[in-house]
Structure 1
Amino acid sequence: MTSNEPKRWTKSTYSSGAGGECVEVATTSAHVHVRDSKNPTGPHLTFTPEAWRAFITALAG
């Protein structure tokens, strides 16, 4: 595992408890990783902290 690989995933508080939309996020010093918690071994998206902040800001806007 490199230093840029996520170590601890946290499920979003907005994720459905019924197994629907389940998003998990993990951070490292250089990246924010996002994955589908129903498929933890599957692919995940990787953002820089700046890109993640812009994404979240756009969603809240």
Structure 2
Amino acid sequence: MLRAALNAAIAQQLITFNPAAHADLEAARRPKAWRWTDTHLDAGPITVAKQLVVNGWEV
């Protein structure tokens, strides 16, 4: 997202150099998926939403 914003700033001639283009980043790890069970569904939407946030997913 930062790289896209900086590229847009270059296109608008607000900056002349995109420092993010030269950044060495490690590959992002995919979040571990978990299977919905009847227990999750019976717990109700509020409980499930809280668990998703705890696991790193935003609802």
Larger Rg: 2
TM-score by length of 2: 0.30
More strand by share: 1
More helix by share: 2
Say which structure, 1 or 2, has more relative contact order (CA 8 Å, 6+ apart).
1
TM-score by length of 1: 0.29
